[in-house]
Structure 1
């Protein structure tokens, strides 16, 4: 091959290489352009997923669900949040259904309609306002003169009763009273007809109910005002049963000593009858109008009913805190809730329960234990809402004021039976109080035992009502 031919071949190869390079370059550029176009389409056209979520959003909008957003190429819809919202909605619907069932049961038991339904939320709101109110709240509220105090046995209820009897007597209020003694319905449930007509105001309504009774919602409501505040008291059930057993001498009726309870079959203890028809196991629930033998479902329903009915359930082991909550609920002063302990056994005569006996008594009174635990937990929450520091300050002020009254009244404690005492407590196991300042009405009433104080209130009410009925 000559030089001329070789040069020609080289030139042709170069041209072919350039053509091949050009074709490859066009292919690469075309590919890049195509990829670019695809990417543009992907990021400017809604994806099928986005279209589905967008349709779902439109559907939710029409059903008045919360709106959600879908950004281009990516769903902004929070599925987890949606599931939470739907679950919350289901829970609310279930809660409404439970409330409806509870109200139906309450109607069957004759519970006043005013206590439940929509008004129950108002009552709960009132409780919260009372707990959260500051020190100046007293100036903004009005003292409550209508109170239903369900007096439970051996729960320090005589102490709290003294507060209501003194307040009503001082403020010329009317009471629900029997013709004699201090019981209106027990062991039977309360009936309005138990109140003698000569002790009932012309309106048929009383301001304060504070004597022993067995709760009967419908009958109690018939003699109470619509704005009545409902209050009761609970106590640790093992301690309560020990007090009940020894104070009322149940050993004589059962022929069984309390110390031997832990060695007895629970089936035998459960079959012990109510002593005198009044006293026995699950005493608090019995006083509250329920059977002392209920299924777990019935018991929980009962506790739910009681929680809705009572504005305040005081706790005996937290008495001073409970008195502070009471005085705020009723818009009363600290002076109004000062009280000397009533009908409580002296420490030296109280037996000490061994752990095994205590556990046996708690098991025997398991329904009361569930009731107590519920309201103890509620009391703790109430103190937290009120403010722990604020509560401590008020309790301290209450105790200081009590000491001042004790000193100013010249009061002294008398232990056991004393033939010189004009007014005696039920038992020699409890202390009585005497005061050197009998000219002071408040001092005298602070020191009086339950029965003499009820008699004093009754005499005044009879006289007042007779004067009202007398022709002018």
Structure 2
């Protein structure tokens, strides 16, 4: 009979065996964790951001016209300040836009604001040129608005600065016979007077909407270029997707609406058939909007209605906390720009003198700290209009 002789393990061998068992246990837990994250959409909790993934800090936001894009710009400015990021600014000759309506070129960027993490000023999009400036992992985002609503706002706001609109008696007159005033090759001064969303995205604003091949290729190009196309009418729902895409916290996506028109400068109703005429005139924009509106809701459906509803609840709860933290029981004063005496908080009034709403600090609160209660820098930035905020960031860049 064979005999077996057992040899006792040394203390060192026993220690290494324990280490081995610990490593095996850690590996199994890690594999289980990865499986759980995949099962729940890369998040330990379906209602929280995946904090194992770092925040995305390289972002291009194509700021389109009259779409709520100033609200997004303010949000991005604040994110850049909090995280010590560099925002690319237009060179002096371009003003506050990247020499729009010319197609974007790297020459339009102020060299003192490079290398950049964030781009968020108006431009006519040129993906190849933007990529030359930005890191390879940059996330591209833009926002669209229902074309008839957007065009009414566009016409009203740019009535005296867009040459085509300027020679038109009224919106109704323009929509009755647009070809009487509009010339395709006429230089765009201020803004494109047809298919402005398509134009801002780098497309051909005068291409017939019946050119199905062009429309299909253009939509595919925008799809490839942008990871998220937000929808102005569903701004909060868009922020749910944005927050997850960028792995940001709720505090990173808080906002107050910027650059809104006063009630007196808005049309309470449109003449019968006017909206359909505006949609027909901007038919490329309509196809663009309809495509990405549907895309937004597909992405939200993939998250699930319960998760989206909870995210919206948490977002609005965070908004309320911010307002309470900033101003306590006092309320922000939403006023006409003409009534705001503090130039640092007064929105820009264009040549058409369209009245814009801005925010005044609550009574007994000032921005210079002279009152008994100082307002935090964050709170002031939240209500600072686009041009003044741009100037502040330029001064510190």
Are residue 363 (structure 1) and residue 280 (structure 2) matched?
yes
Picking from 352, 355, 359, the partner of 1:429 is 355
> Alpha-carbon deviations, 1:196-218, whole Å to 9, x = none?
32332xxxx31001111111111
Partner Cα separation in structure 2 for residue 398 and residue 144 of structure 1: 19
Deviation of 1:132 after TM superposition, in Å, equals 11
Report if aligned partners of 2:340, 2:358 keep a CA contact under 8 Å in 1: no
Match of 2:391 in 1: 455
Alpha carbons 1:131, 1:328 under 8 Å: kept: no
Q: Quote the residue 1:282 is aligned against.
A: 195
Name the counterpart of 1:339: 255
Q: Which moved more, 1:227-236 or 1:342-351?
A: 342-351
CA RMSD of aligned residues (A): 2.3
Q: 1:324 aligns with which of 240, 256, 281?
A: 240
Of 157, 173, 179, which aligns to 2:85? 173
Is the Cα–Cα contact under 8 Å of residues 155 and 316 in structure 1 kept in the other structure? yes
Note if 1:413 corresponds to 2:334: yes
Contact 1:190/1:216, CA 8 A, preserved across alignment: yes
Q: Aligned match of 2:297 in 355, 377, 380?
A: 380
Structure 1 residues 392 and 325: alpha-carbon distance in aligned structure 2, compared to 1, 3 A threshold:
same
Q: Distance in 2 between matches of 1:252 and 1:368?
A: 19
The reply to whether residue 232 of structure 1 matches residue 232 of structure 2 is: no
1:399-410 equivalences in 2 (<5 Å): 399-410=316-327
Against the structure 1 CA distance between its residues 145 and 257, is the aligned structure 2 distance closer, same or farther, given a 3 Å change threshold? same
1:248 matched residue in structure 2: 158
Q: Distance in 1 between matches of 2:238 and 2:387?
A: 24
The superposition leaves residues 6-48 of structure 1 with CA deviations (integer Å, 9 ceiling, x where unpaired) of xxxxxxxxxxxxxxxxxxxxxxxxxxxxxxxxxxxxxxxxxxx
Change (3 A) 1:419 1:395: closer
Larger gyration radius, structure 1 or structure 2: 1
CA distance in 2, matches of 1:132, 1:373: 34
Cα distance, 1:270 vs structure 2:
5.5
Please report how far the alpha carbon of residue 400 of structure 1 lies from its aligned counterpart in structure 2 after TM superposition: 2.8
The reply to whether residue 390 of structure 1 matches residue 307 of structure 2 is yes
Normalised by the size of structure 1, how large is the TM-score?
A: 0.66
Given that 1:261 and 1:360 are in contact with CA atoms closer than 8 Å, whether structure 2 keeps it comes out as no
Q: How far apart in 1 are the matches of 2:193 and 2:143?
A: 17
Q: Counterparts of 1:1-400 in structure 2 under 5 Å?
A: 129=41, 134-180=46-92, 181-200=95-114, 205-249=115-159, 253-264=166-177, 267-268=179-180, 271=183, 273=186, 276=189, 278-295=191-208, 296=211, 297-351=213-267, 352-400=269-317
Q: Which residue of 2 aligns with 1:13?
A: none
Structure 2: segments with no counterpart, 5+ residues: 1-37, 368-374
User: What are the ranges of 5 or more consecutive residues in structure 1 without an aligned counterpart?
Assistant: 1-125, 462-472
Structure 1 residues 399 and 253: CA distance shift in structure 2, 3 A: same
Calculate the TM-score normalised by the size of structure 2: 0.77
Q: Is the helix fraction higher in 1 or 2? A: 1
CA shift for structure 1 position 335: 1.1
Query: For the Cα contact (< 8 Å) 1:131–1:386, is it kept in 2?
Result: no
SS in 2 for 1:345: coil
- The count of corresponding residues between Structure 1 and Structure 2 is 330
Q: What is the CA deviation profile of residues 206-235 of structure 1, one whole-angstrom value per residue up to 9, with x for unaligned ones?
A: 100111111111110011000000000001
CA shift for structure 1 position 290: 1.6
Q: CA deviation at 1:304?
A: 0.7
Tell me how far apart the structure 1 counterparts of residues 144 and 45 of structure 2 sit (CA, whole Å): 25
Q: State the SS of the aligned residue for 1:409.
A: helix
Q: Deviations over 1:419-442 (max 9, x none)?
A: 512221123522111333634111
Asked if structure 2 preserves the Cα contact closer than 8 Å seen for 1:174 and 1:208, the reply is: yes
| Structure 1 position 330, deviation (Å) | 0.6
The 2-side partners of 1:319 and 1:369 are apart by 18
Question: How many Å separate the matches in 2 of 1:177 and 1:287?
Answer: 18
- The structure-2 alpha-carbon separation of the partners of 1:241 and 1:332, relative to structure 1 and needing over 3 Å to count, comes to same
2:109 and 2:145 map into 1 onto residues whose CA distance is 28
Looking at structure 2, the residues matched to 190 and 162 of structure 1 have their Cα atoms a distance apart, in angstroms, of 22
